Structure 1
């Protein structure tokens, strides 16, 4: 059980840092995505399930890397979000992909709706603060790292990797 706790920390800490930095600066530093991917490599011996499982995780990561690159090229996703999405996906098998996409989409939609309705939901002093001006005024940008982190954390307890850890 201690191994599951350690691996969960290795998984969760970069996600929480990504969500925090994206919320406050609308940027996800490369070192956070790198830490997420490196965490997978560090956790690999503790979660070893054989070469076929490793190939599955790497193929999921490669597909999400290509998808993130395409979404970035089309202007649908920021570069930091695309890199974080690829790093997160290393931790998931194919059976975890649809729940991850679904939860991330739902959290992203909720965040988008909240940002669109912020004029009516938030007090004036919040909207006119430095953070409020950056988050809710003007641009179409939103800190999608929050949705990615929330989606990943939501799926983690049912993911194939976590289930294998706890038996």
Structure 2
């Protein structure tokens, strides 16, 4: 129980920090993604399943790093989002990758709809705050770290790594 709680904290806390900072500043600090990646390697002995599984985790992380920076190059994703996505990828195995992409996309779509329509329902005080102005200006910027964090936290209970921890 303690080990599962510890790993969940090491996994969830950086995600929550990334979501908060992306929402409030539209930036995800590098140290958040680095902390998440370091957390994976620090907890590796707790969920060790052998070199082939470790290789899968490294490949998923590398896949997300390449995909994230390709999306960054096209202007579809911010650099912080790309790095966070790669750090999340370290925690995922191949079976977890598609559910993560699906749920992150759904959360991202909901966030996009909220940003397009939500300002109509927000109190004027919130709309005119610095965060509200940044979010509801109608630009193409979106704090996608929220969707990444939501997708990762949503699939965590059914993930391979969580199953390995609880045995």
TM-score by length of 2: 0.97
Which residue does 2:47 correspond to in 1?
A: 47
What's the CA shift string for 1:53-105, capped at 9, x where partnerless?
Answer: 00010011111111001000000000000000000010000000011001100
Which residue does 1:59 correspond to in 2?
A: 59
Aligned pair 1:12/2:12, yes or no? Answer: yes
Q: How does 1:138-157 map to 2 (within 5 A)?
A: 138-157=138-157
Does the CA contact (< 8 Å) of 2:25 and 2:131 recur in 1? Answer: no
Does the CA contact (< 8 Å) of 2:116 and 2:138 recur in 1? Answer: no
Aligned residues: 167
Aligned pair 1:166/2:136, yes or no? Answer: no
Aligned pair 1:111/2:128, yes or no? Answer: no
| CA deviation after TM superposition for structure 1 residue 127, in Å | 1.2
Q: Structure 1: which 5+ residue stretches go unaligned?
A: none
Aligned pair 1:30/2:30, yes or no? Answer: yes
Aligned pair 1:85/2:91, yes or no? Answer: no
Does the CA contact (< 8 Å) of 2:18 and 2:146 recur in 1? Answer: yes
- Other structure's SS at 1:53 match: helix
Supply the RMSD in Å over aligned alpha carbons: 0.9
**In structure 2, C-alpha distance between the alignment counterparts of 1:130 and 1:10, rounded to whole Å:** 31
Q: How does 1:122-141 map to 2 (within 5 A)?
A: 122-141=122-141
More moved, 41-50 vs 132-141: 132-141
| CA deviation after TM superposition for structure 1 residue 125, in Å | 2.4
| CA deviation after TM superposition for structure 1 residue 49, in Å | 0.5
**In structure 2, C-alpha distance between the alignment counterparts of 1:130 and 1:20, rounded to whole Å:** 15
More moved, 130-139 vs 17-26: 130-139
| CA deviation after TM superposition for structure 1 residue 147, in Å | 0.4
**In structure 2, C-alpha distance between the alignment counterparts of 1:147 and 1:118, rounded to whole Å:** 16
More moved, 115-124 vs 12-21: 115-124
